């Protein structure tokens, strides 16, 4: 019996150790298709969302409502986006470029390559560039990144991709850890220099990295961590944001839409050079917020001129 218990403990330990291994593997596979120039990465794990009641509501409501924006892509690929897409990674450079370069990696367990190939033949030279990678990923790349991403997909040199950037990779891994929605960003030095030259935001100029996530087990928890270079700037930014939030609570639009109560539970906590922003909602509050998001997206969808 003792041996059996010991075996169970070992199994539990192994399970905890390897629980995130598949998710980490998927993340690295996506980052290997992202150019090293990327400085902001956003991830959405629909598998994790579907595993919780609140996440299921988000998929069935706001995410389904938002999917109409990609109706052409869904029709061409034959994908039911809310049902079949499993994971999405979006990456952009640190500063906007004239060609709006970006890459989107969409992972799904079921890809009809023949249908997608037929659709792609009908859009020669169209932008953005779309291709299938290893049968389970649809990759969308735009601007100067189109050829780079295609090269990364065929050459297999992760060192030339975001997966080979230790700083961005660690930030993504930390933000993505068991979270269905996450963001990781490194502020480019050139952008920090610009902010340093603006007398309005001298404290913001020391912002080096930003990570954020949303978890929805039961209620909803959102947390963002801004990594600044020193304690003084961290406290200053916290004070500035606090004043902005207090003002936003009283804004007529926020009051009319019933969003002010959500700002009441937002907490800003400077901890040394790191500034933590945390929002925690109960299951009831989270479901109410989802309903409001559904209404907003439905209203946008029903406006004249909205895409079909």
CA dist 212 to 96, 119, 172, Å?
21, 36, 10
**pTM: predicted TM-score of the whole model, two decimal places:** 0.85
Q: pLDDT, tens digit, for every residue of 133-171?
A: 988 899 999 999 999 999 999 876 655 899 999 999 999
Query: Looking at residue 47, what is its pLDDT?
Result: 93
Mean pLDDT confidence for 31-42? 96
Average pLDDT along the chain: 85
> Which of residues 249 and 7 earns the better pLDDT score?
249
Angle between helices 21-31 and 166-176 (to 10 degrees): 140
Cβ–Cβ < 8 Å for 142, 101? yes
Helix H or strand E encompassing 158? none
Q: pLDDT, tens digit, for every residue of 162-205?
A: 999 999 999 999 999 889 999 999 999 888 888 888 878 889 99
**Is 305's pLDDT higher than 60?**
no
Per-residue burial over 7-22, b = 16 or more CB atoms within 10 Å of its CB, e = otherwise:
eeeeeeeeeeeeeeee
ω into 94 cis (within 30 of 0): no
Percent of the chain surpassing pLDDT 90 = 50
Find the angle CA(24)-CA(27)-CA(31) to the nearest 5 degrees. 140
For the chain, what's the residue count? 308
């Amino acid at each position: 019996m003792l041996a059996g218990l010991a075996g169970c403990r070992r199994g539990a330990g192994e399970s905890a150790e390897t629980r995130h291994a598949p998710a980490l593997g998927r993340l690295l596979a996506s980052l290997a298709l992202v150019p090293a120039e990327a400085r902001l990465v956003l991830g959405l794990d629909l598998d994790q969302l579907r595993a919780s009641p609140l996440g299921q509501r988000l998929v069935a409501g706001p995410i389904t409502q938002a999917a109409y924006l990609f109706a052409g892509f869904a029709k061409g690929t034959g994908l039911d986006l809310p049902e079949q897409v499993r994971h999405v990674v979006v990456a952009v450079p640190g500063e906007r470029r004239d060609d709006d370069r970006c890459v989107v990696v969409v992972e799904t367990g079921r890809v009809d390559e023949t249908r997608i190939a037929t659709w792609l033949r009908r859009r020669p030279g169209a932008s953005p560039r779309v291709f299938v990678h290893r049968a389970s990923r649809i990759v969308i790349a735009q601007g100067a990144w189109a050829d780079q991403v295609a090269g990364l997909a065929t050459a297999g040199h992760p060192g030339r991709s975001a997966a080979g950037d230790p700083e961005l990779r660690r930030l993504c891994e930390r933000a993505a850890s068991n979270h269905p929605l996450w963001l990781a960003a490194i502020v480019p030095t050139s952008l920090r220099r610009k902010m340093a030259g603006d007398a309005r935001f001298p404290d913001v100029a020391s912002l080096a990295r930003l990570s954020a996530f949303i978890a929805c087990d039961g209620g909803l928890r959102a947390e963002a961590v801004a990594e600044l270079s020193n304690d003084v700037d961290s406290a200053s930014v916290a004070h500035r944001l606090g004043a902005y939030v207090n003002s936003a609570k009283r804004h007529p639009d926020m009051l009319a839409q019933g969003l002010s109560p959500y700002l009441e539970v937002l907490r800003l906590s400077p901890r040394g050079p790191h500034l933590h922003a945390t929002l925690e909602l109960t299951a009831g509050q989270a479901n109410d917020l989802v309903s409001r998001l559904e209404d907003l997206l439905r209203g946008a969808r029903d406006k004249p001129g909205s895409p079909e």
